[in-house]
Amino acid sequence: MELQEIRERIYGFLAQLKPADGLTYDTELFKSKYITSLFALQIVMFLEKEFGIKLGRKDITEQNFHTINAMAELVQLRLGAGGGKNG
């Protein structure tokens, strides 16, 4: 799956849950307070369901979730590593 498609799906999910004014693929989601730790749990569940992947404890870090780009790269890595249902 292309990285751009992954980014767009994540952006769409975030925009559904909270107004996306000024949100970009590089927005620092925690620093800007766009997401909280509770909201992050919803994002993990979305990523696993939407992309058919399983994220482990080592994957769930602020570094992997600090921007849409970081999340998209994590998803692409998991899909490429056979971590997805389709991979």
Query: Which pLDDT score is estimated for 29?
Result: 95
Nearest CA-CA partner of 29 in 37, 51, 74: 37
Sketch out the chain's domains with CATH numbers.
3-80 (1.10.1200.10)
What's the 3-state SS for 18-39?
A: CCCCCCCCCCCCCCCCCCCHHH
Give the pLDDT confidence of 33-81 residue by residue, as tens digits.
898 878 888 999 999 999 999 999 999 998 999 999 999 999 999 999 7
Residues 11-33 pLDDT 10s: 999 999 888 889 999 999 999 98
Report the pLDDT value the prediction gives residue 17, as an integer from 0 to 100: 87
- 18 or 8, which is more confident: 8
